[in-house]
Amino acid sequence: MKQNKIIWLVFVLALGGLILYFATQKNVGAKGGKAYGGTLSISSKNKALSLYPLANNTLEAQRLQQLIFEPILKPAQNERGWRYCLASKVRLNAKRNQVIIRLKKNIHFTDNPCFRFHSSELTAEDVAFSLSLACSQQDNIQQELILPRLIVGGTKFFDKHQDPTKASVKGIRVLDKHTLKIELTGAYNHFLSLLTSPSLSILSKQAAKFYGRLLHKNPVGTGPFLLQNKLKNTYIFERNPSYWRHDKYGNQLPYLDRVELSCGTSGQLAQKLFLKNKLDLLFDLPLDDLREAFGTLNDAKQGKNPLHEVYIKNAAKVHFIHFNSCKSPFDQLAIRQAFALVIDTKTICNDILKGEGQELNGQFIPTQKQYENNLLFSDNRTLTQKIAQAKLLLAQAGYDAQHPLPSIHFYVGAAKNTLAYKWAAAAAQQLQKALPVRIILKETKKTQQHAGKNIGEMWRSGWVGDYPGAESYLRLFYSAAQNPLVFDHIGVDAYYLASIQAQSNEKRLRAQMLCEKAIIDQQALIPIYTEDFIVLNQLRVRGFQLEASGMLDFSALFIKELK
């Protein structure tokens, strides 16, 4: 009897080995000119990488999180503004205040110890947990407060510090294994677009129970790759062999075997590594470096440097100076307006950015296919006239050469040798030259801790819309979405609410235009410039296509060596 058991065990192991062998062998070839295998090498300037969607993430972090996590819907340049991802069907009721979401079947989270005695299949429970998590108060969550106010019971869930592993928001109801219903507090035309945000990618409820407070350090998603290892400053992402997506030829995605990310790599070092074939992609390359890279293209033809191409994408990325309008002295409109008048964005773009950015000319939302604001007008006064008007505004607020403004702390959030610091320093110099004020530059980022100090606050900021359209820009200044509150204006709030509750595209567009105009009129910020995304990629990397938001589908990349 014992010998039979041993024979049976050997047979099972052998059969498992054969199954594994043929499962891995099926990906040797790919149809449609694609190719499987290979390692993609990329780098990041940041020393640490956040792989938690609900953290206060940068564009770079969200781009890399897509290796692991996926949202219910994805943004798209179509009339709806979204397309299906994890969902197979979405249905709104007649009043547009209920959403039924039907998930695709047989989608599994990546292999992980947390699933040892549990199913790894994506279910409606995971979606209910993820959306409830986004409505909760936890140390590792640093998000806008927009979602709790949109879902019935969301605000109460947030205020009571409820645990999403034990309960869901009242308005989120699981109907069956793959279906859930969401009840909204109003008929919001932007709710489905909001579900395309990388911040609302779906996490595993079982992983949350298993890892508890360490969930943010143990990423488990449904995406094309999984975090295999972290060695010092190197993250290694391995191919997810059970990934659910296929391309139009029927090839299972992703094509790549591995993605290796090196953190803490300076821009200068990254460029050297790229030219030595040790990096495959260079993201967000400054124009000065780009000129040098163009120069190496001729050398590449002689075999001195790798052949590469420059990918430029018209993008919706804006850079601006943000005020804390709820604190003195920027709680006075006249002071915010005075600061904006003396900032010469044309000089910053020409002399500091050297043509890398296009000045925004008083608008905040860059012109897009779906949005162009014809209510905004350029200020054609000379700089001398603007400075005179700025001094008059300060005098009316009680400040002049004898009674200067208090010192202002300007949080740059960048090192002194970076382009970001240079343009911020140029803006500070313009302010000090024109107005009776001392600007103290801080290399650190503005944090919630700074909000409690008795200092003037402004900071360098940048934003790319999570999805096409104006709403994802406007909500930055909607008071109920801010955490913490830094701008509060009843008119802006009213126009914003009108835009997301509008019953037609025409009414929505009109409300959005009025909302942006109110934000500019109230000088909630100083728009500086917009920029395109510039990426260098080795010619052996195929399938590269950047979205307007700066996101990249890593599962579509494949490697073919040049002959």
pLDDT in tens, 296-350: 444 544 445 556 777 777 767 899 999 999 999 999 999 999 999 999 999 999 9
144: left (phi over 0), alpha (psi -120 to 50) or beta: beta
CA–CA dist 256, 245 (Å, integer) = 14
More confident residue, 457 or 255: 255
> Which run of H or E residues covers position 296?
helix 287-301
Confidence of residue 80 (pLDDT cuts 50, 70, 90): confident
Percent of the chain with pLDDT over 70: 88
pLDDT given for residue 289 in this prediction: 55
Secondary structure (H, E, C), 132-175? HHCCCCCCCCCCCCHHHHHECCHHHHHHCCCCCCCCCCCCEEEE
Q: Residue 31 — φ and ψ, nearest 5°?
A: -85, 165
pLDDT at 290 over 80: no
DSSP assigned state of 13 = H
CA–CA dist 322, 473 (Å, integer) = 13
Domains, the chain, with CATH or none? 69-217 (3.90.76.10), 225-313+533-559 (3.40.190.10), 314-532 (3.10.105.10)
257 CB contacts (<8 Å, ≥6 apart)?
36, 37, 38, 39, 238, 239
Q: Residue 336 — φ and ψ, nearest 5°?
A: -60, -40
Instruction: Average the pLDDT over each of 76-80, 116-120, 193-197 and give the range with the smallest value.
Output: 76-80
Confidence of residue 291 (pLDDT cuts 50, 70, 90): low
What average pLDDT does this structure show over 51-76?
91
pLDDT given for residue 430 in this prediction: 98
**Are the beta carbons of 471 and 188 closer than 8 angstroms?**
no
The string over 225-246, giving b where at least 16 C-beta atoms fall within 10 Å of a residue's C-beta and e elsewhere, is bbbeeeeebebbbebbeebbbe
**Are the beta carbons of 49 and 261 closer than 8 angstroms?**
yes
pLDDT at 23 over 70: no
Query: Which value, to the nearest 10 degrees, does the dihedral of the CA atoms of residues 380, 382, 387, 390 take?
Result: -20
Nearest to 282 by CA among 556, 541, 48: 541
CA–CA dist 48, 127 (Å, integer) = 28
Instruction: Average the pLDDT over each of 230-239, 292-301, 388-397, 513-522 and give the range with the smallest value.
Output: 292-301
What average pLDDT does this structure show over 382-409?
95
Percent of the chain with pLDDT over 90: 67
- What tens digit of pLDDT does each residue of 424-477 get? 999 999 999 999 999 999 998 876 544 444 456 899 999 988 788 899 999 999
Burial of 411 (0-12, 13-18, 19+ CB in 10 A): buried
pLDDT at 1 over 70: no
3-state secondary structure of 292: helix
pLDDT given for residue 78 in this prediction: 82
Average pLDDT score over the chain: 88
pLDDT given for residue 113 in this prediction: 95
pLDDT at 72 over 90: yes
Query: Which value, to the nearest 10 degrees, does the dihedral of the CA atoms of residues 419, 420, 424, 426 take?
Result: 10
Nearest to 242 by CA among 499, 510, 27: 27
What one-character-per-residue DSSP string does 304-373 give?
A: SS--EEEEEEEEEEEEEEEE-TTSTTTTSHHHHHHHHHH--HHHIIIIISTTSEEE-TT-SSPPBTTB--
- What tens digit of pLDDT does each residue of 83-99 get? 999 999 999 999 999 99
- What tens digit of pLDDT does each residue of 141-165 get? 776 778 999 999 999 999 999 999 9
**The amino acid at 279:** L
More confident residue, 176 or 378: 176
pLDDT given for residue 183 in this prediction: 98
CA–CA dist 317, 60 (Å, integer) = 13
What average pLDDT does this structure show over 518-528?
97
Q: For the whole model, what pTM was predicted?
A: 0.86
Confidence of residue 16 (pLDDT cuts 50, 70, 90): very low
DSSP assigned state of 91 = E
pLDDT given for residue 179 in this prediction: 98
pLDDT given for residue 288 in this prediction: 53
pLDDT given for residue 454 in this prediction: 42
Confidence of residue 418 (pLDDT cuts 50, 70, 90): confident
pLDDT at 377 over 80: yes
pLDDT at 115 over 70: yes
**The amino acid at 275:** L
**Are the beta carbons of 538 and 311 closer than 8 angstroms?**
no
What average pLDDT does this structure show over 263-287?
85
pLDDT given for residue 317 in this prediction: 86
Confidence of residue 26 (pLDDT cuts 50, 70, 90): very low
